[in-house]
Chain A
Amino acid sequence: MTVVSLRGAVVLLGGFPALAGADLGVDRGEVVLVSGPNGAGKSTLLHLCAGLLRPAAGQAEVLGCDLDADRARVRRRVGLLGHDTSLYGDLSAAENLRVWARACRVGAADVGGALDRLGLPARLRDVPAARLSAGQRRRVALAAIVVRRPELWLLDEPHAGLDVEGREILDDIVTAAAAAGATVVLASHEAGPAAGLATRTLAMAGGTLTPGPTT
């Protein structure tokens, strides 16, 4: 089953083509790494796949839904880790996840388990998110995806800001998600840390995708 299908997808940001005719097909259970330099269009690609952006031209379908007409349905079924963590700074990690879980209707019972899995110490769970370090906030943001258990994981520079332990936990989680049938698209400016996870690597430059790693 094809989870992501882009054919000549164009996304304009402020009139500038951040995606300039991207073609991409990702099947269920694949872990695809998109690597490329800064400004190549990786984040735009993930935001398009998450249903946060509308294609200006071309065809774009995610999880069987047309991204021009049915982005709301896509958004309910994906998990996106962006450059920012989407946490409310005055709420604690646990409170942030409880709000998220209730908003997603997945039940807040899994919040503790998700934070356990991400290795966030119990003493930090009731601390306002604004007081956590960048790496700890990143772990909480990943826990939010774990809580939701989405069909499509979209991870933008997932290893950024994580320490060695955090990277290992992330790799385990991604591997387990793919084994459970989820589809994962990773974006990274350096193939290194994420290359071991990927079943396929694509290079991105100038808003277009080509097979194979960036050279």
Chain B
Amino acid sequence: MSAWRAMRTFAGDAGLVAAKDLRIEWRARTTLGQVLPFALLVLVLFGFALDANRPALRLATPGLLWMTVLFVTVVAAQRSVALESADGARRVLLLSGMAPAAAFAGKAAAVAVQLLAVEALVVPGAVLLYGAAIESVPLVAAACVAATVGLSAAGSLLGAVVAGVRAHQTVLPILLLPVSAPVLIAATRAFADGLGTVAVGGWSWVGLLAGFAAVNVAVGAVAYGPLLEDA
């Protein structure tokens, strides 16, 4: 098989899995009906916790925002695992013969699309709610994309790790939150620069986010097959 044909097959399989997951999510309305309200609620509650102190909230906006996205990642990754766990559905991925790396890419892409959709509403929401302002749209957008790729890949990979564990709903956050700490730190720094709260060289933090994303994608592509078989 030529490299071009192999790439097309890979992209087709990944697209099939992503489209399937997104269609299921659209039907279940989980992201729109539960995850998004959850994210907005967390932002509001953070505001209450800081006593609506505008200067403090403005300074804390990047960190609060990415903590919220991290919580959303946990929920989205759990949903992604649950789709394949119910009624032995993961056997579709195993028996179809598609490359496990393509299945992983599709699962991660579906989670990424959901996260980006949530971020598209939560970022402006946080800016408005906390009285911040976006000073560099390209920096904020690049940080969002790089962080989202890293988080969705980590979530999909660790979701496969815990898929066979009986208490996977509680185990996944325990694994995912520490692993995502570098994203939280780097995305917060990049956003702090992008929102003009602290000048910290935001693009270098975006570079770190891209590196983290690349590592997670590579590890996931290699490890997903064995994890799927063992689940």
Contacts and interface: CB of A to CB of B under 8 A. Distances in A.
A75 B97 contact: yes
Nearest to A52: B94
Contacts of A52: 91, 94-95, 229
Given A50-B95, A84-B88, A88-B24, 7 more contacts: A75-B95, A76-B95, A76-B97, A85-B87, A86-B87, A91-B20, A105-B97
9 contacts: A72-B97, A75-B94, A76-B95, A76-B96, A88-B83, A89-B87, A90-B23, A91-B23, A104-B96
A117 to B, nearest CB: 20
A102 B16 contact: yes
Interface in A39-83: 50, 52, 72, 75-76, 78, 80, 82-83
Given A88-B20, A90-B28, A128-B27, A78 B95 contact: yes
Nearest to B86: A89
B13 interface: yes
Nearest to B102: A103
Chain B contact residues, majority secondary structure = helix
A95 interface: yes
Interface residues of B, number: 22
A100 interface: yes
Given A88-B24, A90-B24, A95-B23, A103 B89 contact: no
B27 A90 contact: yes
B97 A86 contact: no
A85 B88 contact: yes
Interface of A: 50, 52, 72, 75-76, 78, 80, 82-91, 95, 99-100, 102-105, 128
Contacts of B86: 88-89
A75 B98 CA distance: 10
Q: Which 3 A-B pairs have the closest CB atoms?
A: A76-B97, A84-B88, A103-B96
A87 B229 contact: no
A165 to B, nearest CB: 23
B92 interface: yes
Nearest to B83: A88
Contact of B91 (A72, A80, A95): A80
Contact of A103 (B24, B83, B92): B92
B88 A99 contact: no
Given A102-B16, A103-B13, A86 B24 contact: no
A99 B87 contact: no
Contacts of B24: 88, 90-91
B225 to A, nearest CB: 8
